[in-house]
Chains A and B, each alone.
Chain A
Amino acid sequence: MKRVVITGAGTINPLGANVPATLEAMREGRCGIGPLDIADVDRLSIQIGGQIKDYDEATHFNRQQISLYDRFTQFTLLAAREAIGQSGLTFSGALADSSGVILGTSGGGLNTQDENYRAVYQAGKNRVHPFIVPKLMNNAAACHVSMEWNLRGPSYTVATACASSNHAMGQAFNMVRCGMAPVMVTGGSEAMLCFGGIKAWEGLRVMSKDACRPFSATRNGMVQGEGAGVFVFEDYDHAKARGAEILCEVIGFAMSSDASDIVMPSKQGAARAIAGAVKDARLNKEEVGYINAHGTGTAANDKTECAAVADVFGAHADKLMISSTKSMHGHLIGGTGAVELLACIMALRDGVVAPTIGYEEPDPECALDVVPNVARDANIEVALSNAFAFGGLNAVLALRKH
């Protein structure tokens, strides 16, 4: 079994257009959620989101590229450039043939679908641009990363709703760990902030109209965000041999399925994934200092997640810290685990635990240290990152300071 380390990180999300800006915002507890600026927002009952503002695709991509890159692909490519750039890797020969890309997304090219359904249904147009299919498909982002960086090994896209990124990164981790690939580019992306994307979520009645306040007794739902997080997972020996900077080590991964309900979370399913990641990483429970929570800000998720953490960790649950950065960047759905992994890296590498902002009032059903409102300095050796998806699909990663 190989050891697996992270040698590059990249992102664009509502908190910043790169990793340093994002971590600064997380340290300062800044909120990236605000009024949505999208077509027909006046016909939505939910009018807020974690939208990436001041974004002009033409500054990053040429006309031909834009005709092929949906917003979720654009975000992915920008994050991949930062991550692979930081790693210092170039892919050629045997390294290129064995290294690949596994990314998560839930909606894929949803903006492309939305715009073109508008064109044919609303505007009555009878033809659409020829590249709509390759632009909207869920695997487009992974494919364009593979093309831009000559990654010719195992590559595909994982779609498990809100756990997509964690499932993708877990798969990439296991591929490097078992020696199948020396390097895997992994993470996820989502760009669902369009009229149809929000309208569909409104139907479930789980969205907040004003803010995302995870674990607070006053919480009233989730807020959607958009963006991407991409990482370079590398065989430790390979990274060490080339003198790469190591951000942290990935030490465990587990997944579980509730096999019970298509939307309601299960304490047992979440607990089995958390306990599974602890076991896979061969940890004593007491070693876990920080958990980046799924923490959506819905009534059901937050109390179920806290109960699962209490079940797994027993008395240690009161000593560890658990925070939800969704309070700041919103729920990036299929990309959320990737952006949230940055908070774990910050805790391990910089000794700063990101806060849960918007926290107003304790909830007895969420009675853990949720790092309310203000970031905290702490020496964290091991961190977990939770993701629990609709459909009861759970995926938890374990990371260690390097």
Chain B
Amino acid sequence: MHPRTTGGYEMSIKDQVIAIIAAQAMLEPADIGLENSLEDIGIDSLGLVESIFAIEETFDITVPFNANDPSASDFDISSIAAIIAAVEKLKTEQTG
């Protein structure tokens, strides 16, 4: 469920995040728009915490997210693009 590679080459962070979210929403990756919110594609609160778990497992990062107050978390989930940017930032901080 956490695809790292396809066809033998590394997927980008963007493609991997979209693949994770698409699997959770039971949609094809092509049906996920960067401007979509999680709500738009039918991901509820349980789906969100599962997606974050999958992101942590896939990228070996710890996502600072508290389900009690998502807006106060230092991890922007307002759109798919925001989530991708947040994951890229965490990866950079990890390697940098």
Contacts and interface: CB of A to CB of B under 8 A. Distances in A.
Interface string A105-138: 0000000000000000000000101110000000
Contacts of B56: 127
A130 B56 CA distance: 11
Q: How large is the interface on A (under 10, 10 to 19, 20 to 34, 35 or more residues)?
A: under 10
Interface in A213-241: none
- The listed residue with most B CB atoms (<10 A of its CB), out of A63, A67, A127, A130, is A130
A131 B46 contact: yes
A155 B46 CA distance: 23
Nearest to B56: A127
A67 B49 CA distance: 12
B43 to A, nearest CB: 12
Contacts of A130: 46, 49-50, 52-53
B39 interface: no
A199 B53 CA distance: 31
A127 B53 CA distance: 8
A129 B52 CA distance: 10
Contacts of A127: 53, 56-57
A106 B45 CA distance: 30
Interface in A121-165: 127, 129-131
Nearest to A68: B46
Contacts of A63: 1
A129 B46 CA distance: 11
B57 A131 contact: no
Interface string B32-70: 000000000000001001101100110000000000000
A320 B46 CA distance: 54
A322 to B, nearest CB: 48
A137 to B, nearest CB: 15
Interface in A19-71: 63, 67
Contacts of B49: 130
Contacts of B52: 130
- Of B53, B56, B57, most A-chain CB atoms within 10 Å: B53
A129 B53 CA distance: 7
B65 to A, nearest CB: 11
B57 A67 contact: no
A131 to B, nearest CB: 7
B51 to A, nearest CB: 9
A155 B15 CA distance: 44
Nearest to B52: A130
A63 B54 CA distance: 14
B57 to A, nearest CB: 7
B42 to A, nearest CB: 12
A63 B50 CA distance: 12
A131 B44 CA distance: 14
Nearest to A63: B1
Nearest to A129: B53
B34 to A, nearest CB: 25
B30 to A, nearest CB: 21
Question: Which 7 A/B pairs are nearest by Cβ-Cβ distance?
Answer: A130-B49, A130-B53, A130-B50, A129-B53, A127-B56, A127-B53, A67-B50
14 contacts: A63-B1, A67-B50, A127-B53, A127-B56, A127-B57, A129-B50, A129-B53, A130-B46, A130-B49, A130-B50, A130-B52, A130-B53, A131-B46, A131-B50
Interface of A: 63, 67, 127, 129-131
Interface of B: 1, 46, 49-50, 52-53, 56-57
Given A130-B49, A131-B46, 12 more contacts: A63-B1, A67-B50, A127-B53, A127-B56, A127-B57, A129-B50, A129-B53, A130-B46, A130-B50, A130-B52, A130-B53, A131-B50
